[in-house]
Amino acid sequence: MRRRVVVLAVLAAILSVVAVAAVIFPDYFRLLRPSVLKQLDPRVVKLVNELPGVDRQNQELLGRLFALGGLAEAKEGPDGVMRVDVRAPKGELIWEPAIIVMPRSGELEVDLSNDDPYVHHAAIFPSNGDKQFVMLPIHSRGRARVTLDSPGYYWFDCPVGNHGGRGMLGLILVRGDVPAEARLDRPEQPRP
């Protein structure tokens, strides 16, 4: 009887921890979906397993392997502009998130904050017309409005020192297709 109580208590504790953790860290639990698990590339798993420090400053490498940071999807506002917040956290030399996803081509507004007391930052963003430059002194906030009109991926960077090389190199992923009138007059073709 006593043994059964202990087992049940341990199980209850585990379930409680899992439930609490699922609320606090939902992204970890979403990784357990079958649709994600089946795409796990053993080479990528090996990188994270054997070199977990590539996602930290001055551990496996000198800086952080770029684009290993988080990802955020820009949300479209009623005015049709997509928006996303990006910050430079304290002492990490990273963008958070490092990957911005635009669901389609269009205008993107990036709200930037520099929470890093170690050093000032700046941002260079791709944009039709001209690249956009935003200065980011310590404990400051800035905003860039950019236009990207083609599916594919683009880069953004902190041009101060070698912050880009240390990890402040981010990506903007633009999803979608070219307009229908630009496509070739042929039947659907097989894709990889």
Partner 1 sequence: MGPDRRRRSVRVGLCLLLAAGVLVACSEERRDYPLTEQGRDLGSLSGAAGSAPPVAAGVNFERILRARAEPQNWLTYYGAYDGQRYSSLDQISTGNVRDLRPAWTFQFGEFGIKAGEATYSFEAAPIVVDGVMYATAWDGWAFALNAETGQELWRYKHEIPVDTPLCCGNVNRGPAVANGKVFVTTPNAHLVALDAVNGRPVWKQVFGDVRAGESATLAPVVVKNLVVVGTSGAEFGILGHIDAYDLETGRRVWRRYNIPKPGEPGGETWPEKGEARNRGGGSAWITATYDPELDLMYWGTGNPSPDFDGSVRPGANLYTSSVVAIDPDDGAQRWHYQWTPHDLWDYDGNNENILVDLDGRKLLAHFDKNGYFFVLDRTNGQLVRVAPFVERLDWGEIDPSGKVSPRKVPTREGVDICPGPAGGKEWTHAAYSPKTRLFYVPTIESCANYRVEPVEFKEGLPYYGGEANTLPDHWGAVRAFDPSTGREVWEWRNDKPMVASVLATGGDLVFAGEPTGELNAYNARSGELLWQHQTGSGHHSNPVSYSVKGKQYIAVPVGWGGWVKGFAPGTLGVPRGAALMVFALP
Does position 106 bind partner 1 by CB under 8 A?
no
Q: Which is nearer to partner 1, 73 or 96 (CB)?
A: 96
**Position 56, amino acid:** R
Residue 9, SS3 per DSSP: helix
What is the rounded CA–CA span in Å between residue 129 and residue 169?
21
* Other Cβ atoms closer than 10 A to 74: 23
Q: Alpha carbon 54 to chain centroid distance?
A: 16
Q: Is 99 in the site for partner 1 (CB under 8 A)?
A: no
CB atoms near residue 165 (< 10 Å): 15
The binder of partner 1 chosen from 46, 62, 149, 161 (CB under 8 A): 149
Exactly one of 87, 100, 102, 108 binds partner 1 (CB under 8 A); that residue is 87
- Partnered with residue 153 across adjacent β-strands are 173
The only residue of 74, 84, 125, 168 in contact with partner 1, by rule CB under 8 A: 125
Work out the burial of residue 130: count CB atoms within 10 Å of its CB; fewer than 13 is exposed, 13-18 middle, 19 or more buried.
exposed
Q: Of the candidates 65, 124, 160, 165, which one interacts with partner 1 according to CB under 8 A?
A: 124
Distance CA 122, CA 168 (A): 10
CA 67, 62, 113, 142 torsion: positive or negative?
A: negative
Largest CA distance in the chain: 75
Q: Which of 103, 106, 151, 165 binds partner 1 (CB under 8 A)?
A: 151
Q: Is 135 in the site for partner 1 (CB under 8 A)?
A: yes
Least Cβ distance, residue 34 to partner 1 (angstroms): 26
Task: Based on the shown chain and the rule CB under 8 A, indicate whether residue 56 belongs to the binding site for partner 1.
Answer: no
Shortest distance (Å) from residue 139 CB to partner 1 = 6
Could you identify the residue written with the tokens 């906030």? 141
Task: For partner 1, give the closer residue by CB, 76 or 89.
Answer: 89
Closest separation in Å from C-beta 43 to partner 1: 20
Q: Which stretches of the chain bind partner 1, using CB under 8 A?
A: 5-6, 9, 12-13, 16-17, 20-21, 23-25, 85, 87, 111-113, 115, 123-137, 139-155, 157, 159, 174, 177-179, 181-187, 189-192
